[in-house]
A and B are shown apart, each in its own frame.
Chain A
Amino acid sequence: MKQRIQIISTIVLLLMLLSATAIAQVGKPFIHDPSTLMESDGKYFTFGTGGGGLISTDGWTWYGGGVRPGGGAAPDVVKIGDRYLIAYGATGGGLGGGHNGRILTMWNKTLDPNSPDFKYSEAVVVASSDGVEDNDAIDPGLLLDPTDGRLWLSYGTYFGFIRLVELDPKTGKPIEGNKAINIAIDCEATDLIYRDGWYYLLGTHGTCCDGANSTYNIVVGRSRKVTGPYLDNMGRDMLKGGGKMVLDATDRLIGPGHFGRTVLENGVEKMSCHYEADLDQSGRSVLGIRPLLWKDGWPVAGDLFKEGTYEIESVRRGYALELAVDFVRMPGGMRFNRNSDEPIKPVASQQLADVINTWPAGNIPARIGDYMGRPHQKWTITDAPNDTTGYLGGPYYKIVIAGTERALAATADGEVVTVPKFTGASEQLWRIDQLIDGTYRIMPKLVPNSGKKLALVSIGDSSPTLAEFDFNSDNSKWNFKTH
């Protein structure tokens, strides 16, 4: 076990190769301080500092075109009823030289500037800082409390306190007589979320606006009450600088900040942020969308799916997705009765070339079988070539048996097969979402002749099919393994 050092560098190299594909979003996703992602008129929207914003038709490719008047910095958006409430800081947090700040809200019926209904209401001031007090009224974050329908706004920067005020969800104006409460220090770009009896205060620590040298990172504290105290995993109050890490620099995506949460459905959540620098995109500030996981009651950023060769494990039973082909034995059998002084040497594992000639040429069904680390259980998953479409946070993937073009595909009768050759057809494109418990959902882009949105599901221990996704069942969940 000592002679392995010489290959370490190779391992590192390979790992880097594998990770080089973890990109943020595509298109022109350049933004700073993105607001929480909102869906409107079938498109996704986010607004940033300085006005304007990004629009995406699929959640993966983003371009400019969003319209938000008022300039200033770091807006947030929440949908209340059938209207959108937009909050923004009229100042830029030290941009004007001082900490004299104002936060305004305004309504719109749609976020789509092409819609005839697109018209912002007159902006109203909901919070301000006088430039001297321990607060800088920028960086608003909105929470419509799902338990009681009350609307909360957190705001502020490292200059003094993060404060919390209550707004009227009908008017977007401050509640008469409401006094701001201090809930944190040391952070900025805060956002409040509620989940399962807890209020979470997400904030950004560190230094922004310094490109690849930015130390921006997203932390969280939680409280049973919206007014705090917000404590971290060490029991430390965010009023004393506490905060548990949610997301920090990952490889070439540096300086995440400005958290926003998007709940797609039960068990499928995303978080939006910007990275101060995406080294793969000129080191510019870009929109990032990642899975949001919940671990022991704490939010943690999930991983962007990395292209590679995996075994696909069914969470139901723990078996592996495989081609339904004859099991090909490796040479030898029971090696129980060996002389213990026999020299110990490695045995080759089964290779694709050893078995591929025994496989049929046409479609082969997929099934789920005992993990054997065999070629018919190894899947290479890559961003589908010649396909630019995606979904919130990711591209569609091509899933083939490693070393071949044999591709996993959905069928018109709601089952899964492998076809001999990847053609790029929609039923061969797969959406992969990491779920809040860290497992994965795998869905075809399209089930032929069906409008249904079905996911890959273990209907038996050994039988995969397509069926409705159910987060409460291990049947709907998968893991990607590299053993």
Chain B
Amino acid sequence: MNRKRTLFLPAMALIILLGLQSGVNTALAQPPGQRPSLPPIPITSDTTHTLTRHFVPASAAKKTPDAKGFIQRWLVLEPVKKDIARNSILTDSYLRTTLSADNFSSDYTIIPKNGQTVKVGDQELKWYALDSKTFNVNLYHFTYAIDKPRYGILVWLVTVIDSPEEMKNVRLAAGANSASMWWLNGQEALTIPGDRDMVADNVTSQRLTLKKGKNVIRGAVINGPGMANFCLRFLNEKGAPIKNLTISYR
């Protein structure tokens, strides 16, 4: 089991904990007693806030999708703070309302610059151009690395796909934890509502056309408690990954 619980909800956490203990004690016939103390748990990880552990700052070097077609180069905006107690509130309507309100630009083809700051509400947020070391982009690692809130976040994303030719009937395939929305060249392509796990090809778009040359992908991942990450690739008509693309952040 794993109750996705956030740190900034102490009241709720307390209720859950109390509930757990009282429920356990009465329902499961465990005699009341002290909650056992945890054994010592050694810290073996590098706990410093370091971006380069999971990411490489994006360079001008040519970047292609990985062997399975996943897009690993992204412009990632520092998280917009959101008070979200549970991911199950992330319905389609919630996504639409929130993402149009907490947006840095309603021009979905805009390409921000690495290091640029933008305003979302009264928050001043900075863009990072990053290459993920894994097939997916772990936003939890990202927010930890830049020492920003890890839970209750909305993260905006942009990347630029260079296609050698026009490609019809391709599909954008994404998985995200938790909810997300995706746009291709300004057009809404995908909505992934709910308390989701990041699963490759969890949701696919309708048939789309990649233009010859630059295509702008915009994304937004929103997460309350728990892990936040996403993976994204393009599939051809047969469901196979498209790999003859190049990815840039400009």
Contacts and interface: CB of A to CB of B under 8 A. Distances in A.
Interface stretch (B15-23, B38-46, B59-67, B112-120): B15-23
A337 B203 CA distance: 35
A463 B203 contact: yes
Contacts, number: 66
- Chain B, interface SS category: mixed
A463 B191 CA distance: 11
- Chain A, interface SS category: loop
Contact of B239 (A326, A415, A475): A475
B91 A326 contact: yes
B226 interface: no
Nearest to B174: A460
Contacts of B206: 413, 415, 465
A39 interface: no
Interface in B19-76: 19-20, 22-23, 26-28
B2 interface: no
A461 B94 CA distance: 22
A329 B27 contact: no
Interface string A322-365: 00111101000010111111000000000000000000000000
A367 B191 CA distance: 11
B204 A460 contact: yes
A460 B93 contact: no
Contacts of B19: 334, 336-337
A324 B16 CA distance: 32
B152 interface: no
Interface stretch (B102-110, B139-147, B193-201): B193-201
A462 B92 CA distance: 14
A70 interface: no
Contacts of A369: 194
Interface in B144-196: 171, 173, 191-194
Interface residues of B, number: 32
B183 to A, nearest CB: 16
Nearest to B203: A462
B134 interface: no
A364 B144 CA distance: 39
B91 A459 contact: no
Interface string B72-94: 00000000000000001001111
B92 A325 contact: yes
Contacts of A51: none
Nearest to B91: A326
B207 interface: yes
A462 B197 CA distance: 12
Nearest to B173: A460
A414 interface: yes
Given A336-B19, A338-B23, A459 B92 contact: no
Given A327-B88, A338-B27, A475-B239, A463 B204 contact: yes
B202 interface: yes
Contacts of A329: 88
A324 B239 contact: no
A265 to B, nearest CB: 18
B91 to A, nearest CB: 4
B22 to A, nearest CB: 6
Contact of A337 (B18, B194, B199, B202): B18
Interface string A459-480: 1111101010000000100000
Contacts of B202: 460-462
Nearest to B21: A337
A334 B203 contact: no
The 3 closest A-B CB pairs, nearest first, are: A337-B19, A460-B204, A337-B23
15 contacts: A326-B94, A327-B193, A329-B88, A336-B16, A336-B19, A336-B23, A337-B22, A338-B23, A339-B26, A415-B207, A459-B171, A460-B171, A460-B204, A462-B192, A475-B239
Given A326-B94, A339-B26, A463-B203, 8 more contacts: A326-B92, A327-B193, A340-B28, A413-B206, A413-B207, A459-B239, A460-B171, A465-B204
